[in-house]
Every structure is written in C-alpha cells, then in structure tokens.
C-alpha cells in the first residue's frame, strides 16, 4: 500500500502529526505497537497529573478549617488509591477515545504492530510492506534502567505504577527533572516518607537558577530527603544505600533521564552524542524524507513541543516553510504550587551579554491569591533594558501552568513591559501579577 505519510508512534507527536496530515489531505497511516496516546496519555502527562490533583485536594482538605468549614475529622481522612487510579483511568480512556475518533474523522488509518524501516520510503509491519513519500518517526523515549547493582530492589517505572495494589510507606524517587520532582511531592502529599535521588549533577537543567533554588528549598521544607548527584549503590532487607547513607525503601520509582526508543532500521540513523536521532532544524534525519519528532530526537521531552514539531513537519511537507522557535515554549511543573517558565534564563542572558532587568511581584500581595489561600509564589519577568522587550518569564503560583500562556503570547509578538503594564487585567485575578510586574519594570508596581 502507498501513502503520502507513514507515522511510527501514536503519542502526542505522532497523533497530532497524523490529525494535521489528514486535515490537509495527505493519505496517512499511523503504526503503533501498543496504545494510542503514547506514554503521555497512558501513564505519563495525563495520568500523573490526575494523581497529583487528587493528592492536592487531599492535602487542601486538611486546611478546610481555615476556610470556615467545620465537621471534617482530619484523623479519618484517607487516600483511596483504587478510586484515584479509577478516576485517572477514566480520564485517560476519554482522551484516547477522542484521539482515535479524530484520526478516523480525518481519514487516518491506524495499524497495530511494530514497524521496521527497510528503505527511505518503505516500512514493514506485520509482514506487510507499506510505502510512503514521507516517514515520520515518533517513537518517544523511556527512562534509563536502574543500575544492575540494585536489581533486587522493588523498582517500578511510571508505566507500572498504576498496577500497584497499594502504595507502601517509604518511597524513593530517582531522576533529575520534572517527573521526579512531581512524583516526589505526590508521595509526600499523601503522607509517605519520601526521598529523591537526582543521580546527576544536572538537576532541573534548563530552568533558571532562581527556580532551581526555590524547588530545592521547597522540597526541603516539606521534609523530602534530597540526594543531589548521588547514586543508589545497594539494596538489602528494605534498606537502600545512597552515597554511604542508608534509608528505608519499600518502593523505588524510576523517573530517570530518558533514552530514545529508536525503531529498527536497515538504514542506520545518525545519532547525537546522547544517542537520540539527530535531525536538521526541520526535523529531517540523515535519511532523506524521514523525520524524527518528539522525545526520540532529544530536542525536548514535553508533549506540547512534540505536538508542535508534528504540525511543523506536516506543514513543511505541504510546502509551508517556517522557522521552529526552540526557545518560546513553556516548561511546567505541576507541583504545589505550580511552577512555569518560558524564554531565556538569567544565565543565558548574561552569556549573551544582554543588558536586562528583573521585575518581580509576590502572590502575597494579590487579592485573588489571598481569597484562595494560595499566597506562596511570585512572578519574575526578564526584559531588555533598552527597549523593554520581554525575554523570559517565571511564575510560581497555584495555576502557573495556565498563566504562562499569557507570557507566551506576549513573547510571540515581541511584546514589551510597556504592553503588559497597559493591558487591563480583571480584578480580582491572580493574572494581575503580570500587570504589576510590567509596572515594576516601567516604573513602580502599584501594590508593591
């Protein structure tokens, strides 16, 4: 069979590329070996955030007396793991069913199986030859396996977390980026003794140093044990040895750095030094007409970026040429409070020799934040001193992951601190902190 586009992998990169391809009239087939939605929908982005939301509500109920709510016996509160998993599963099913519907609606064929590239325009799946003008690799990534020295430890990947019947009391999370921080706080919020082992000196790489310091202080204030640039060395009798220190460990959750899941190919891919598929700025691999998007290319590990890459490649195939902006995308952490960042960091601005100013405003002075009882947090806006162009924004707030979109829209249009200062924000809203940060840069914040 012949197609315009063959896509290998049905995660956020693959299914968005597929839907877009169908919309613009390209005959398209997606090959997926397991579940539509990929890691993100089935055990990553969506399910993990559903777990976190349940944990956040569980934790906030403990503060109900502050809001004038009586009659809740805190001692009788319990976190029902089975119901939490069921709710998460229902959300996942609704979303994956929706994706399947959209693929069908747009004429995209879906084949279940494992694909193998045999040439620049031919794929074999289930002993069937499929030919296409363009092939898109969207096979994602997976966490690096634990060291063999602790092979006897009770290790669980996120993919298998939802199969646990109970969550034990002593949890150790390994990893150095967003998923590890989120899961460490999740376990702590539901009352577990929690530790995080970063197993690298690149903790929260890509975030501004100010936010990294905030995250570390936050974890420490919540009495989450932190082992920076350390490695689990030995596991014996329920005890994990880390850097010579012994801690109780009933469950070791693998949120390690990720490695590319590369499909079998008779034409070898050129790989990066980290063994991801190397691509051009337009995501074309060394094989002509074969593209790699999402985690497998190692350029980003965020679903929203993977989806944007998918749209970019399909547009390019249709002759719509554009530059892909690799810096103007948000990085989110769904913790309590949430954390979000977009654009350049202080360090990057200094390295480029840009003369910039930092304007800040705390949530403690925001009326809506006080009403909601969520006054922990701030906004930091980095702007060019000469023209006032906004170059980076960092937010810590209960809904920072939604608020960061305003910063994205501002930066997409080369907006300035003057633009944000004169934009009228509804009152009372948490988003008023944008206006205050703008005023802080222009002259003085009104309520600071």
Residue range 146-181, pLDDT digits in tens: 888 898 999 999 989 999 999 999 999 999 999 999
Q: For residue 444, name the pLDDT band (cuts at 50, 70, 90).
A: confident
Residue 360's DSSP bridge partners are: 380
pLDDT of amino acid 1:
78
**Measured between alpha carbons, how far is residue 324 from residues 10, 313, 405, 428, 444 in Å?**
22, 10, 18, 36, 36
**Structural contact between residues 306 and 13, judged by C-beta atoms closer than 8 angstroms:** yes
**Angle formed by the axes of helices 178-189 and 45-61, to 10°?**
30
The answer to whether 2-142+259-317 and 331-442 have equal CATH topology is no
Fold of 331-442: Enolase-like; domain 1 (3.30.390)
pLDDT: is 315 or 326 the higher one? 315
Instruction: Decide if pLDDT at 27 tops 90.
Output: yes
Instruction: Decide if pLDDT at 321 tops 90.
Output: no
Q: What is the mean pLDDT of the chain?
A: 94
Instruction: Decide if pLDDT at 326 tops 90.
Output: no
CATH code for the domain defined by 2-142+259-317: 3.50.50.60
Q: Looking at the annotation, which residues are catalytic?
A: 427
Q: For 313, what's the count of Cα atoms within 13 Å in the CB-facing half-sphere? A: 35
pLDDT of amino acid 327:
67
Distance CA 305, CA 303 (A): 5
Q: Which residue shows structure tokens 């005023």? A: 439
Q: For residue 232, name the pLDDT band (cuts at 50, 70, 90).
A: confident
Which tens digit of pLDDT belongs to each residue from 54-75?
A: 999 999 999 999 999 999 999 9
Is 145-256 a domain of CATH 3.50.50.60?
Answer: yes
Distance CA 284, CA 247 (A): 47
3-class DSSP assignment, residue 407: helix
Query: What's the whole-model pTM score?
Result: 0.93
**Measured between alpha carbons, how far is residue 24 from residues 243, 291, 440 in Å?**
55, 18, 45
The CA-based diameter of the chain, rounded to the nearest angstrom, is 68
Residues 6+ apart with CB under 8 A from 82: none
pLDDT of amino acid 200:
79
- Burial state string for 321-350 with b = 16 or more CB within 10 A and e = fewer than 16: eeebeeeebbbbbbbbbbbbbbbbbbebbe
The residue-averaged pLDDT of 435-442 equals: 93
Domain boundary assignment for the chain: 2-142+259-317, 145-256, 331-442
Q: For residue 358, name the pLDDT band (cuts at 50, 70, 90).
A: very high
Distance CA 134, CA 18 (A): 12
DSSP class of residue 253?
E
**Structural contact between residues 7 and 29, judged by C-beta atoms closer than 8 angstroms:** yes
Instruction: Decide if pLDDT at 389 tops 70.
Output: yes
Concatenated DSSP letters of 16-44: HHHHHHHHTT--EEEEESS-TTHHHHHTS
């Amino acid at each position: 069979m012949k197609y315009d586009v063959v896509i290998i992998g049905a995660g956020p990169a693959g299914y968005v590329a597929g839907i877009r391809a169908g919309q613009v009239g390209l005959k398209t087939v997606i090959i997926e070996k397991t579940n539509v939605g990929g890691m993100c929908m089935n055990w990553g982005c969506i399910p993990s955030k559903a777990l976190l939301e349940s944990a956040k509500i569980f934790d906030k109920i403990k503060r109900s007396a502050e809001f004038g709510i009586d009659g809740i016996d805190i001692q009788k509160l319990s976190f029902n793991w089975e119901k939490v998993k069921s709710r998460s599963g229902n959300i996942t099913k609704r979303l994956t069913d929706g994706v399947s519907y959209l693929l069908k609606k747009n004429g995209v064929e879906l084949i279940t199986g494992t694909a193998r590239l045999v040439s620049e325009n031919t794929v074999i799946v289930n002993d069937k030859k499929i030919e296409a003008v363009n092939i898109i690799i969207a096979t994602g990534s997976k966490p690096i396996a634990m060291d063999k020295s602790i092979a006897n430890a009770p290790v669980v990947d996120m993919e298998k977390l939802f199969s646990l019947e109970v969550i034990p009391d002593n949890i150790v999370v390994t990893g150095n980026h967003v998923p590890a921080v989120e899961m460490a706080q999740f376990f702590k919020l539901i009352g577990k003794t929690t530790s995080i082992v970063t197993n690298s000196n690149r903790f929260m790489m890509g975030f501004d140093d100010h936010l990294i310091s905030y995250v570390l202080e936050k974890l420490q204030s919540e009495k989450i044990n932190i082992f920076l640039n350390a490695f689990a060395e030995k596991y014996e009798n329920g005890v994990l040895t880390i850097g010579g220190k012994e801690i109780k460990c009933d469950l070791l959750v693998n949120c390690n750095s990720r490695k590319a899941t590369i499909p079998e190919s008779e034409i070898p891919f050129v790989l990066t030094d980290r063994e991801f598929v190397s691509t051009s700025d337009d995501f074309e691999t060394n094989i002509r007409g074969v593209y790699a998007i999402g985690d497998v290319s190692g350029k980003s590990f965020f679903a929203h970026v993977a989806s944007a890459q998918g749209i970019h490649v399909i547009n390019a195939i249709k002759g719509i040429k554009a530059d892909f902006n690799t810096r103007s995308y948000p990085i989110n952490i769904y913790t309590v409070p949430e954390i979000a960042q977009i654009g350049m960091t202080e360090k990057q601005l200094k390295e480029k020799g840009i003369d910039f100013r930092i304007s800040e405003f705390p949530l403690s002075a925001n009326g809506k934040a006080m009403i909601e009882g969520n006054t922990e947090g701030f906004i930091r806006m980095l702007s060019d001193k000469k023209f006032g162009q906004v170059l980076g924004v960092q937010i810590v707030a209960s809904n920072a992951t939604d608020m960061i979109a305003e910063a994205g829209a501002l930066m997409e249009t080369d907006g300035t601190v003057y633009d944000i200062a004169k934009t009228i924000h509804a009152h009372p809203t948490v988003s008023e902190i944008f206006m205050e940060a703008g005023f802080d840069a222009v002259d003085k914040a009104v309520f600071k």
